[in-house]
Amino acid sequence: ASWVKGETTYGRVEFNRRKLIRFSKRQITSSLIHEIGHVLGFGFGNWNELYDKRTGKFHQSVIDKLPGLAAMKVELGYGRGTCYSHWDERLFDGEVMTGFKDRVEYVLPITIDVMSALGHRLKKQLDEKMFLDQLIDNIGQKTFTRQTDVADLDVDYLEITEIEEEITEDVPPSVIDLDAPLRDLSASIEPQETLTVFEIPASFETQDNHSTQGSLAIIIGHTKLRPGARAIPPLSFYEYEYNTEIASLAKEYATHQGLEVEIFTRDQAGITGAYQNAADWEPDAICELHFNAANGQAKGTEILYSDERDRHGIYEKELAQEMQKRLCQLFERQGREDRGIKNRTGRRGERGFTNLGQNFNIPIILIEPFFGDNPQDAMLGLQLKTTYAQTIVNGFIQWKKDCDKRYADS
């Protein structure tokens, strides 16, 4: 949200440092540009009078004034904070004012032009879509001459407003031609009226030696009143009891590894509530703990995941693969006892569908390390408790390092 004091429009942007440490200066700059777009009215106020909320299409009277809006559509999905306040993700993936943050972003001319419908006077327009990186580079070469105006701003003025949007990372295939020629705008930008790109403190830059290895939310499967399957002796625990201990061991170990771990239960909130609480904590990944039971004969290790959101680049499948590999080494699974990773994007009612179908764009895996009703597996579950908890943490840390490298290489 934004507010006006005198002739100045103010807006408030908050950064989650746990997320910020993996952003480069350029990624932070592009995030601020996106938020400035909202402060200028993109998605709020007069914006809501421009289009039909049922279809996301702009009214003909608005199109008559800005013909470029005929090809545009407003996002109608992804819930509060994204719905109604961005360009449609499917149609305009990678545009700076869609609801997900991309590795490569571009700006459409209409994103600039629509500002006139929001009450602003345009000084410059774009003739064609442009990569955001080049626009930033061009502007960064110019001299900012309005220091006097900045000195007059009331930088301490703040109105506490409700958070309207949380930026979600997205690394889908780009819809723009990366080989398309880029037009140099430097000659058309007036050097006396542009801004230099601000400096981000070095402590916020992406580094290999982060103060934290990342953040992992652990959800304990089942509840105290409905504790799930019960393992046979010598383990003799219900799933809920066993995994409560595993989660505590994992958190204690993680603290010494520079990793943040928070534990969530389904006792009061149910499945969706537990996942909502975990997502509100904004972890890098979510892991739900269970163990299997069948006919007393089955044994093995498997992990459930969903690649429904792989197009957003959250690397959920990769997390499942890393964890499965490590757990199979720990439990010495070979052949059919390595039950693999199983994608749960199928029909509603399928095991794990509700758990893994939470649309938070956070990687979620559901771990089934052994069969508690199998004598050999139950013994392993008892003997390897501490090592199992440590393996979950180490698997997550390795996956996080791999993700950070992917982000850096991109």
Between 209 and 47, whose confidence is greater?
47
Interatomic CA distance for residues 252 and 259, integer angstroms:
10
Of 321, 319, 214, 226, nearest to 271 by C-alpha is 226
Of 395, 32, 5, 398, nearest to 204 by C-alpha is 32
Asked if 240 and 267 touch (Cβ cutoff 8 Å), the reply is no
Q: Which two tokens stand for residue 253?
A: 């170990």
Give the pLDDT confidence score for residue 207 in this predicted structure.
35
Taking 90 as the threshold, does the pLDDT of residue 289 lie above it?
A: yes
Residue range 267-287, pLDDT digits in tens: 988 998 999 999 989 899 999
Q: What angle do CA 55, 171, 395 make, to 5 degrees?
A: 130
Give the pLDDT confidence score for residue 201 in this predicted structure.
38
Interatomic CA distance for residues 62 and 47, integer angstroms:
11
HEC string for the chain: CEEEECCEEEECCCCCHHHHCCCCHHHHHHHHHHHHHHHCCCCCHHHHHCECCCCCCECHHHHHHCHHHHHCCECCCCCCCCCCCCECHHHHCCECCECEECCCCEECHHHHHHHHHHCCCCCCCCCCCEEHHHHHHHHHCCCCCCHHHHHCCCCCCCCCCCCCCCCEECCCCCCCCCCCCCCCCCCCCCHHHCCCCCCCCHHHCCCCCCCCCEEEEEEECCCCCCCCCECCCCCCCEHHHHHHHHHHHHHHHHHHCCEEEEEEECCCCHHHHHHHHHHHCCCCEEEEECCECCCCCCCCEEEEECCCCHHHCCCHHHHHHHHHHHHHHHCCCCHHHEEEEEECCCCCCCCCHHHHCCCCCCCEEEEECCECCCHHHHHHHHHCHHHHHHHHHHHHHHHHHHHHHHHHHC
How sure is the predictor about 226, in pLDDT bands with cuts at 50, 70 and 90?
A: very high
Residue range 47-102, pLDDT digits in tens: 999 999 999 999 999 999 999 999 999 998 877 778 899 999 889 988 999 988 77
Task: Please state which of the ranges 126-140, 315-329, 344-358, 361-375 shows the lowest mean pLDDT.
Answer: 344-358
Cα radius of gyration rounded to whole Å, the chain: 25
How many beta carbons lie within 10 A of that of residue 123, not counting itself? 10
Interatomic CA distance for residues 191 and 242, integer angstroms:
65
Between 244 and 343, whose confidence is greater?
244
Give the pLDDT confidence score for residue 348 in this predicted structure.
54
Taking 60 as the threshold, does the pLDDT of residue 206 lie above it?
A: no
* CA 122, 125, 129, 135 torsion-angle sign: negative
Residue range 21-44, pLDDT digits in tens: 666 777 788 888 998 898 888 988
Residue range 152-186, pLDDT digits in tens: 777 666 665 555 555 554 433 333 333 333 333 33
Give the pLDDT confidence score for residue 162 in this predicted structure.
58
Taking 50 as the threshold, does the pLDDT of residue 211 lie above it?
A: no
Asked if 327 and 319 touch (Cβ cutoff 8 Å), the reply is no
Between 105 and 325, whose confidence is greater?
325
